[in-house]
Amino acid sequence: MSARARRLFPVLLLACVLLLPDARALAQATPVVTFEEVQLEGRHKLFYALVLPNGYDPEKAYPVLIALPPGAQTREMVQAGLSMYWETEARQRGWVVVSPQGPNDELFRTGDDSVMPVLFEDVLKHINVEGHRFHLAGVSNGGRAAFRIATQHPRDILSVTVLPGAPPEEEDWANLAALKDIDVTMFVGSRDRTWLRQTEKAAEELRLLGIEPDVRVIEGEHVVPVDPAELFTIFERSRTTKRPAPIDQPSPSELMVRAIGATLDAMHSAAEKLDVDAFLGSFAPDAVFIGTAPGERLSLQQLRDNDGSALAAGAGWPVEVVSRNVTLGSSQDVAWFDESLKSPLLGPLRATGVMAYDARDDAWRIRMYSIAMAVPAERLADVVATIGVADAPGPAPDPAPDAGATKPDATKPDDDADADYDGDTDADADDHDGEDGDDEPENESDDRPPGVPR
């Protein structure tokens, strides 16, 4: 190596470190996280890592940090950021972290501005977000994107923290006044000259607007060596800052119960209108309908073949829903319900059934629906006298045994006595733990509790 090359080598090496600061972070990153996905317009999808705190409870409200990754904002950069700053401390402190990778191979600061509202909506749909607002953090390119996102969506953001970061374009500098109700914290390395100048300029502009940022110059280069505990202490401070009253947000379970009720209401409305297609659309393909007529137990295909005659002849529609109770299973993809109905044709009715969540179209479907007349105890004798005990429906006779078949021992318990209508046990219908052949196998490394999307 020539003398000139030896003199240039340290300079070139330092330039590589500054231009590719995320390589150092990536070398230290070894987390195993699960990535979720949400559909964007067209065929594109947005993927994001989801970190849940220890002892996560889907009914509880949690502070949520959206962490924008550095560099090219690839999946590897997401993992690097989680490893360096976010994952371990979040789990211990009771925070949820959402870290998206760049959409469609673009950076968040240069890509489609409609992406973040889709992410916000998807997270709010599945996580009970404290105050209905997010904390936003970004590293390097993620810090630039954080300024753009916060100025575009200030009502959704509670705090912004960058390590380092500054507004990426002139339009973002012009929109800094949108941060007036947002806590801003800016970290920068003392020897990171370019970013230090940008940080000082952004801080000055914010102060002119009456916004006092928390600027912290840390000894070091571009990759800011900040203790994650310090970062989350800053986030916690923002949680206690006085803010406008948060928007009421139903819990994920409440949203599921509402969706189930909407499916049942749509089914009743379709039955009243004799809209067979809409009525059948409320049911799962393997559904069973048990009507008010003796022996009326119809599959979905039988209902379709009847072309609505079952709706017109005996189920009692139109109905008014008097009350309804819905119970979610522990897996939160199955539920059972009962409802009290009032019919001008048949009087009081009671219905019970089972619902199942269909992830393919994000909808709840009816797996079983049983409707019957509700007879007051004091009128039972009149009803029996009218229909006659002999005419009352009874259980279907057992099929004739095959020749040579061994007659079952009536003294032994029936192993299938508790099986439900589709062959699963009650526990299986509730838990759906992936042990039967129709479900996806359980991922032992997936620590998400029920109610969080895969």
Residue-range domain boundaries for the chain: 20-239, 252-390
More confident residue, 31 or 130: 130
As a CATH number, domain 252-390 is: 3.10.450.50
Average pLDDT of the residues in 355-372: 89
Is the pLDDT confidence value at 10 over 60? no
Tell me, what's the pLDDT at 430? 43
Tell me, what's the pLDDT at 211? 94
Tell me, what's the pLDDT at 390? 54
Over the stretch 88-136, which tens digit does the pLDDT of each residue have?
999 999 999 999 998 877 888 765 567 888 899 899 989 999 988 999 9
Largest Cα separation within the chain, whole Å, is 113
Average pLDDT of the residues in 40-48: 81
CATH of 20-239, one of 3.40.50.300, 3.40.50.1820, 1.10.287.3510, 3.40.190.10: 3.40.50.1820
Over the stretch 271-286, which tens digit does the pLDDT of each residue have?
888 888 888 999 999 9
Is the pLDDT confidence value at 163 over 60? yes
Average pLDDT of the residues in 32-56: 85
Average pLDDT of the residues in 145-166: 93
DSSP for 135-198, please give it. Answer: EEEE-THHHHHHHHHHHH-GGGEEEEEESS----SHHHHHTGGGGTTSEEEEEEETT-HHHHHH
Tell me, what's the pLDDT at 43? 67
| Type of residue numbered 323 | S
Q: What b/e string do you get for 413-432 counting C-beta neighbours within 10 Å, with b at 16 or more?
A: eeeeeeeeeeebeeebbbbb
Over the stretch 126-140, which tens digit does the pLDDT of each residue have?
999 998 899 999 999
Average pLDDT of the residues in 249-270: 83
Total residues belonging to the chain: 454
Ramachandran angles phi, psi of 129, nearest 5°? -85, 125
* Three-class DSSP category at 223: coil
- Which range is least confidently modeled, 24-28, 173-177, 447-451? 24-28
Decide if 190 contacts 184 (C-beta within 8 A): no
Tell me, what's the pLDDT at 247? 46
Is the pLDDT confidence value at 444 over 70? no
Q: At 306, is the pLDDT very low, low, confident or very high (cuts 50, 70, 90)?
A: confident
Mean pLDDT, the chain, integer: 78
Is the pLDDT confidence value at 381 over 90? no
Tell me, what's the pLDDT at 272? 85
Decide if 273 contacts 161 (C-beta within 8 A): no
Tell me, what's the pLDDT at 248? 52
> Matching CATH topology for 20-239 and 252-390?
no
- Which range is least confidently modeled, 59-68, 98-107, 226-235, 378-387? 378-387
Over the stretch 60-82, which tens digit does the pLDDT of each residue have?
999 999 999 998 999 999 999 99
Q: Is 0.85 topped by the overall pTM?
A: no
- Which range is least confidently modeled, 24-33, 297-306, 372-381? 24-33
Tell me, what's the pLDDT at 386? 81
